[in-house]
């Protein structure tokens, strides 16, 4: 009887342990996928880093689903409580806070974790195939720092080896001449003559191997410096000019959660995102924060008197904003194609603006960067009016019907007026 009770207790404890270890398998990946795409894709990808870390390996390695749930629902509370894991992630990403998802239930989080783990497992299996390996090799990630330092090390070692070999050869030649009596014995008591540095330099200059090696290293170094300099020409990543009015995006887009397109209304309908007029600011600041020095600059620019609440056009002064994101004149970029058609979030190119006190150029905006994004971004054509129209036009072409340029968007303003 005692053994039976003991065995039941052990089985019960083991059962609870197994349930605890496999708790992450209870989520629904299908529901999790919908939640992930609706809430997480702005900052995260499963297989690679975007604004935040790659979630696939991170969630798979972290087996404590209870901690992950607390982190997703309220990461700020964990950071405030000095949780070691939370502080490590917070400091790793330059203390950029993650969005708090207090509306998520424990079941919602379990569904998201189940989707991430399932999707990461699928992507790892696909990457293990030869085709996936070839596709991965095609992505140009550039030489790593380790490879560069290894090349420098090889050059230094080669230089040392050449110097040592030259010394050994000179010593052997001297010994050979001495053994044949062609070189007199050195008198140890003889006073050594000071070394003539110019003579040493001339002697080294006559060493063809050394001269060739120095010229080769110089050519490689100058070529590398030229390549890096040309590659970074006109790349202004991190550029953060001083604006005439200090506009805190972390307050407006972060704390207040104002949609980007409330101010940059051109992003979804034209080539340019457009700089908001100061009248947009006055929708709120006609009443809010009237005493702020920055708001007073808006009043001054508009010729607005807060006491009389009237505008004087004779006292208006244009606001001279400094452009941050610049593309070459030969590069065409249309915001509406990316925002309205592709459904891309602003943060994917401009970075986490909701955490920036002052906006800076987050991405390099180079051709390589754009091409890599186009290679990995899937086209979501289902339920998209633009692609539905393209499919309809293609069907008309197959039937032999007349198709004009207007059917393909040829009369859209942005096609000519950009």
Indicate the pTM of the whole model.
0.47
- Which residues make Cβ contacts (< 8 Å) with residue 86, sequence separation at least 6? 71, 75, 78, 79
Q: What is the pLDDT of residue 129?
A: 61
Check whether 194 has a pLDDT greater than 70. no
Who has greater pLDDT, 189 or 224? 224
- Among 163, 151, 152, CA closest to 210: 163
Percentage, residues of the chain above pLDDT 90? 20
Q: Write down all domains in the chain, each with its CATH number in brackets.
A: 23-127 (1.10.760.10), 147-186+194-231 (no CATH), 249-364 (no CATH), 378-418 (no CATH)
Q: What is the pLDDT of residue 188?
A: 47
Q: What is the pLDDT of residue 27?
A: 76
Is residue 186 very low, low, confident or very high in pLDDT (cuts 50, 70, 90)?
A: low
Q: With left for phi above 0 and alpha for psi between -120 and 50, is residue 185 left, alpha or beta?
A: beta
Lowest mean pLDDT among 136-140, 228-232, 346-350: 136-140
- Which residues make Cβ contacts (< 8 Å) with residue 63, sequence separation at least 6? 21, 24
Identify the three-state secondary structure at position 164.
helix
Check whether 314 has a pLDDT greater than 60. yes
Note whether 321 and 243 are within 8 A (CB).
yes
Lowest mean pLDDT among 58-67, 135-144, 223-232, 317-326: 135-144
pLDDT tens figures, 333-376: 999 989 888 888 899 999 999 999 999 999 999 898 899 888 88
Average pLDDT of the chain is 80
pLDDT tens figures, 267-289: 988 888 988 889 999 999 988 88
Is residue 103 very low, low, confident or very high in pLDDT (cuts 50, 70, 90)?
A: confident
Who has greater pLDDT, 128 or 371? 371
Is residue 302 very low, low, confident or very high in pLDDT (cuts 50, 70, 90)?
A: very high
Check whether 182 has a pLDDT greater than 80. no
Which of 47-56, 84-93, 282-291 has maximum average pLDDT? Answer: 282-291
- Among 205, 203, 183, CA closest to 195: 203
- Among 106, 20, 27, CA closest to 70: 106
pLDDT tens figures, 88-97: 877 777 566 6
pLDDT tens figures, 60-77: 877 688 888 888 888 888
Lowest mean pLDDT among 228-237, 285-294, 314-323: 228-237
């Amino acid at each position: 009887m005692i053994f039976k009770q003991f065995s039941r207790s052990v089985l019960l404890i083991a059962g609870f342990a197994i349930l605890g270890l496999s708790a992450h398998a209870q989520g629904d990946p299908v529901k999790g996928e919908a939640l992930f795409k609706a809430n997480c894709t702005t900052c995260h990808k499963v297989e690679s880093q975007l604004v935040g870390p790659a979630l696939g390996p991170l969630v798979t390695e972290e087996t404590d689903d209870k901690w992950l749930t607390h982190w997703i629902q309220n990461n700020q509370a964990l950071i405030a409580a000095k949780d070691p894991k939370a502080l490590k992630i917070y400091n790793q990403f330059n203390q950029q806070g993650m969005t708090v998802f207090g509306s998520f239930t424990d079941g919602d989080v379990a569904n998201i974790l189940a989707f991430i783990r399932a999707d990461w497992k699928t992507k790892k299996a696909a990457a293990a195939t030869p085709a996936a390996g070839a596709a991965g090799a095609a992505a140009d990630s550039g030489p790593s720092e380790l490879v560069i330092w290894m090349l420098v090390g090889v050059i230094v070692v080669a230089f040392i080896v050449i110097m040592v070999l030259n010394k050994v050869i000179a010593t052997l030649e001297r010994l050979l001449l001495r053994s044949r009596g062609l070189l007199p014995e050195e008198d140890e008591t003889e006073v050594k003559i000071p070394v003539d540095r110019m003579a040493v330099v001339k002697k080294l200059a006559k060493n063809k191997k050394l001269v060739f090696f120095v010229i080769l290293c110089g050519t490689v170094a100058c070529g590398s410096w030229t390549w890096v300099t040309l590659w970074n020409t006109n790349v202004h990543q991190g550029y953060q000019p001083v604006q005439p009015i200090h506009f805190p995006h972390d307050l407006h887009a972060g704390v207040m959660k104002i949609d980007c397109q409330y101010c940059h209304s051109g992003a979804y309908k034209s080539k340019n995102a457009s700089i908001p007029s100061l009248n947009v600011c006055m929708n709120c600041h006609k009443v809010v924060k009237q005493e702020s020095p920055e708001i007073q600059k808006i009043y001054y620019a508009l010729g607005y008197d807060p006491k009389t609440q009237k505008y004087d056009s004779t006292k208006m002064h244009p606001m001279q904003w400094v452009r941050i994101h610049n593309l070459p004149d030969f590069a065409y970029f249309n915001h509406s194609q990316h925002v309205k058609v592709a459904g891309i979030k602003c943060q994917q190119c401009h970075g986490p603006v909701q955490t920036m006190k002052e906006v800076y150029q987050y991405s390099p905006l180079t051709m390589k960067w754009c091409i890599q994004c186009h290679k990995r971004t899937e086209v979501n054509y289902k339920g998209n009016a633009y692609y539905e129209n393209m499919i309809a036009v293609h069907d008309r072409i197959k039937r032999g019907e007349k198709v004009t340029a207007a059917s393909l968007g040829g009369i859209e303003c942005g096609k000519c007026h950009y």
